């Protein structure tokens, strides 16, 4: 009887450890306060006429663009509404698989539908285009 109790106790500990690791892995993913969708650089005139280079997509997991997709972002550091992200993309923009590429991003959340992203050339602000096609 004692061995059955130890086995049950061991099982519960392993089960708890397994589920806590799932929760931790989900928490590490960047949970940004942004709506999922297509975002365009605010310097673009209209959402529908935006050039590919000014378009980013956010699917709730990471940012993708004209040259990258299947991206997952994790928060490295957060200070208020500013996030430093580590993003890994495993496909080209058209979905063709590639060796995963990792890069850093710095973003500032302005609202659930607007954010700015820091680049080496400067900062660009993006807005959600809910009806983007």
Could you read off the pLDDT tens digit of each residue along the chain, which spans 133 residues? 445 444 445 444 444 434 333 333 444 555 799 999 999 999 876 888 888 889 999 999 888 888 788 889 999 999 999 999 999 888 877 778 888 889 899 999 999 999 999 988 889 999 999 887 6
Domain with 3, as residue range(s), is 1-30
Long-range contacts of 83-90 (CB under 8 A, 24+ apart): 83/30, 83/32, 83/107, 83/108, 83/109, 85/30, 87/62, 87/63, 88/62, 89/62, 89/64
Are 119 and 100 part of one and the same domain?
yes
Q: Does residue 49 belong to any structural domain of this protein?
A: yes
18 and 40 within one domain: no
> CA 68 to CA 104: how far, in whole Å?
14
Residue 123 near residue 107 (C-beta atoms within 8 A): no
The reply to whether 117 and 70 lie within a common domain is yes
| Whether residues 55 and 38 fall in one domain | yes
């Amino acid at each position: 009887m004692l061995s059955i109790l130890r086995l049950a106790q061991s099982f519960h500990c392993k089960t708890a450890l397994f589920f806590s690791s799932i929760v931790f892995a989900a928490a590490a993913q960047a949970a940004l306060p942004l709506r999922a969708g297509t975002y365009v650089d605010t310097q673009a005139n209209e959402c529908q006429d935006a050039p590919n280079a000014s378009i980013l997509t956010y699917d709730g997991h990471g940012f993708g663009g004209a040259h990258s997709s299947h991206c997952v972002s994790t928060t490295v550091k957060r200070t208020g509404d500013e996030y430093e992200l580590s993003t890994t993309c495993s496909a080209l923009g058209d979905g063709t698989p590639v060796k995963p590429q990792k890069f850093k991003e710095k973003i500032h959340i302005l609202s659930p539908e607007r954010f700015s992203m820091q680049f080496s050339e400067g900062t660009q602000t993006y807005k959600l285009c809910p009806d983007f096609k």
